[in-house]
Amino acid sequence: MNERTPLPETMDRPPRGRVLLLAPHADDDVIGCGGTVCKHVEQGDPVRVLIAYDGLRGDPDGRFEPGEYLEMRRREARQAGKHLGFEDYVFWDYPEGHEPGPQLLKAAALRLVEEVRGFAPDFVYAPWIGDFHVDHHVLARVARLALALVGFEGEAWGYEVWTPLVPTRIVDISDVYERKVRAVNEHASQLEYRDLNHKAMAITAQRAMYLSDDARHGEAFRPLGEVGSEDRGLL
């Protein structure tokens, strides 16, 4: 049995097509695949960003009223997106930090089915299923279930934020990396508590190991995959 990990496919830019980027929280869209989706924008591909959760736990000290903080997180998301060419945002405002039961999970999947039908993407990007963060993992489950229910025939890719994945595709983002950094810096509310440019973005340098000698940064992906055994009964 060969236990060596195969080399991933590498590319300078993603294939052409309409893009639906699913992000658990405002800032995950930038951190996870902001450079790759920026390249989609550069080549004229329509892009929609869907932020699933309200982000209220990003204010652990309770310094803001919930409504005020929600608007702040939305504003930061839109300002960050400007650096990458993202203009079309959808906010669902689900509460964070819990694993929903089957009925709530399927309700979210059916809501996403309508989004997919309406926007008709060729590519869907979502957190990869192995991400430890509960909100990221749940959104991956919702995405896999929705795409199965709608009979999605495009490409669905999982990206990394908290938990590194074993990549099957790496996109060179060296030429847009500084734009990605500027986008992250718009999330001032989160940078107060965590150095995202160091802790969340450092992995892009390691991903360049697979790219050309002059490449400095890459983003890694693996297929989102099929519905897991725990959710097959919802199909």
Domain boundaries, the chain: 9-226
**Residues 93, 95: Cα–Cα separation, whole Å:** 6
Q: What is the DSSP string of 85-154?
A: T--EEEEEEEPSS----HHHHHHHHHHHHHHHHHH--SEEEEE-TT-SSHHHHHHHHHHHHHHHHHT--S
What local confidence, expressed as pLDDT, does residue 184 receive?
Answer: 97
Confidence at 174, pLDDT banded by 50, 70, 90: very high
Read off the pLDDT of residues 29-77 as tens digits, 9 standing for 90 and up.
999 999 999 999 999 999 999 999 998 787 777 787 878 888 999 999 9
**Residues 131, 145: Cα–Cα separation, whole Å:** 17
* Mean of per-residue pLDDT scores for the chain: 95
How are strands ordered across the β-sheet holding 123-127? 9-11, 169-172, 218-223, 155-159, 123-127, 19-23, 47-53, 88-94
Question: Residue 170 in 3-state DSSP?
Answer: strand
Percent of the chain with pLDDT over 70: 99
What local confidence, expressed as pLDDT, does residue 62 receive?
Answer: 73
Q: Mean pLDDT across the stretch 191-199?
A: 90
Q: Mean pLDDT across the stretch 118-127?
A: 98
Q: What is the CATH number of domain 9-226?
A: 3.40.50.10320
Per the DSSP assignment, residues forming a β-bridge with 23 are 51
What local confidence, expressed as pLDDT, does residue 69 receive?
Answer: 84
Residue 1 pLDDT exceeds 90: no
Read off the pLDDT of residues 140-155 as tens digits, 9 standing for 90 and up.
999 999 999 999 999 9
Q: Write out the two tokens for 120.
A: 């008709």
What local confidence, expressed as pLDDT, does residue 207 receive?
Answer: 98
The pTM score is 0.96
Q: Mean pLDDT across the stretch 198-215?
A: 96
Question: Residue 178 in 3-state DSSP?
Answer: helix
Read off the pLDDT of residues 79-97 as tens digits, 9 standing for 90 and up.
999 999 999 999 999 999 9
φ, ψ for residue 117 (rounded to 5)? -65, -40
Residue with tokens 């995950």: 28
Closest CA to 129 of 224, 195, 233: 224
What kind and span of H or E run contains 82? helix 66-84
Confidence at 185, pLDDT banded by 50, 70, 90: very high
Q: Mean pLDDT across the stretch 91-116?
A: 95
**Residues 70, 47: Cα–Cα separation, whole Å:** 23
